[in-house]
Structure 1
Amino acid sequence: MPRSNRKLLLLLCLTLLLPLAGCKQVKEERKNRVLESATSGYRQAIRWGYHDAALQFVEPKERPEQLTPLLENVRVTGYEVVRSPVIIEEDKAEQIVRIEYVLRDRQRLESLTDRQRWLYDKETSNWWLTSGLPKFKTD
């Protein structure tokens, strides 16, 4: 094959591959935006005591049938992101937060560190929380 034809073939191949690389980047950016949106929505639900709404972020097969009544005794007073969401594998992410809360019946301030694990569902294009709701100490 003449040299000019090889260059033309190479140029053609590169022209065809560049959009594929761009598509992957666009998909990754969208996946990151959806993760940010999910963690932000979850943060708001936990922060303002909307436990039913927070439960909707939990992976459906991990979701309890109903909330524990003990959550009614918890009022979250602070939610600080210690480590922003990081994609640790292709479809897995992790975020670490510190949550301060008051047990209403005792008016005692408590805190916990919540290591949240998130899983991307390609079928629904959603991120699901697989680590469950925070483990509030209620006793």
Structure 2
Amino acid sequence: MKMFFLGLLLALSLAACETVETAGRKNQMDFDLKAYGHEVRWGQIEALPSYLRPDMIESQPAVAASPGNIRVTGYEVLVSPHQIGEDKNRVAQTVRINYIFRDRQVVRSLIDKQTWEWNADEKKWYRSNPIPVFR
């Protein structure tokens, strides 16, 4: 009987650790995706590559020819972050970004289908697909 309770206690402890780890990963996802959205929304276009997986930064094309010429007027989450398949370390979200070119007052809109991967060592989410180009 004593072994049964010890086994039960061990199982509950492991389940609690999994729950705490999952909650921490979700909280960090919320933080990282909101920070990325904030950078876009407030025109910090040149900072976006820092959210990419480190191995992708060099291959990322320039997000805009002249980032200072872009004024973002809207950042709307169309599809909330959701897990991709069975992998708890990958999520996707879709957003619409509305922006104008300051010099031409041309209004543009793009749909940004984002995928994000969890880096357990750094406890950080990285974007794992290219950042769209503002044209």
Fold conserved (TM > 0.5)?
Answer: yes
Provide the residue aligned with 2:101 in structure 1.
Answer: 103
Q: Which residue of 1 aligns with 2:21?
A: 27
Aligned to 1:114: 112
Provide the C-alpha distance between the structure 1 equivalents of 2:6 and 2:76, rounded to a whole number of angstroms: 50
Secondary structure of the 1:119 match is strand
Name the amino acid aligned to 1:13.
G
Match of 1:38 in 2: 32
1:76 is aligned to 72
**Corresponding position of 1:62:** 56
Q: Distance in 1 between matches of 2:53 and 2:9?
A: 40
The match for 1:126 is 124
Query: d(CA) in 2 for partners of 1:90 and 1:8?
Result: 35
Q: Which has the larger radius of gyration?
A: 1
Give the TM-score normalised by the residue count of structure 2.
0.87
Which deviations, in whole Å up to 9, do the C-alpha atoms of 1:11-32 show, x marking residues without a partner? 2200111111000000000000
Contact 2:90 2:117 (C-alpha < 8 Å) held by counterparts: yes
Aligned-pair CA distance for 1:57: 1.0
1:12 & 1:72 partners in 2: Cα distance?
62
Q: For residues 103 and 129 of structure 2, what CA distance do their matches in structure 1 show?
A: 27
- For residues 44 and 55 of structure 1, the distance between their equivalents in structure 2, rounded to whole angstroms, comes to 14
In the alignment, structure 1 segments of 5+ residues that lack a partner are 1-6
TM-score of the two chains, using structure 1 as the length reference: 0.85
* Alignment: residue pair count: 131
Match of 1:4 in 2: none
In structure 2, stretches of 5+ residues that fail to align are none
